[in-house]
Amino acid sequence: MPRRKIELLRGTLFVLRRKCGKPTCRCATGEPHETAALAYPAGGRTNTITLTHADLAAVRAALARYEAARVELDGAADAGIAALRQSMAEHRVRARR
Ligand SMILES: [Zn+2]
């Protein structure tokens, strides 16, 4: 399977625990199977991808890049709000004179 470069990911990593249903499997009487999975928002609901063959380090890195970019974008938007408020305040002062 060719590896695709995953630049950004949004969501939360978690461990999925489940029984596969085979009566002879160790999970029937013992520990359930554990698979890493990604829960991500899609169209107002949360979807899940199981990451059986995924490179978890790459997934974590893509999640971290998204988070860093989101923080930066939110910071820029906050600065925009501050500038807009400043502009409104200055306009009010000028109009009063
Ligand atoms: Zn099983």
Claim to verify: residue 71 and residue 92 sit in the same structural domain: yes
Is residue 82 one of the residues assigned to a domain? yes
- Taking the centre of ligand 1 as the mean of its atom positions, its distance from the CA of residue 96, in whole angstroms, is 76
pLDDT at 97 > cutoff 80: no
Cα 21 to ligand 1 centroid, rounded to whole Å: 6
Do residues 55 and 3 make contact, with C-beta atoms less than 8 angstroms apart? Answer: yes
The model's pTM: 0.75
Count of structural domains within the chain: 2
Checking if the pLDDT of 91 tops 90, the result is: no
User: How much distance in Å is there from the Cα of 77 to the middle of ligand 1?
Assistant: 49
| Mean pLDDT of the residues in the chain | 92
pLDDT digits (tens, 9 = 90+) for 39-80: 999 999 999 999 988 899 999 999 999 999 999 999 999 999
Q: Is 71 found in the same domain as 35?
A: no
CA 77/CA 70 separation, integer angstroms: 10
The verdict on residue 84 lying in a domain is yes
- Greater confidence (72 vs 91) lies with 72
Q: Are residues 73 and 86 in the same domain?
A: yes
Segments forming the whole domain that contains residue 87 = 55-97
Query: Is 94 inside a domain boundary?
Result: yes
pLDDT for 92 beyond 90: no
* 17 belongs to a structural domain: yes
Between the CA of 53 and the centroid of ligand 1 the distance, in Å, is 17
User: Is residue 25 in a domain?
Assistant: yes
Residue 73 domain-assigned?
yes
Tell me how far the alpha carbon of residue 33 lies from the centroid of ligand 1, in angstroms. Answer: 6
Q: How many A from CA of 26 to the centre of ligand 1?
A: 6
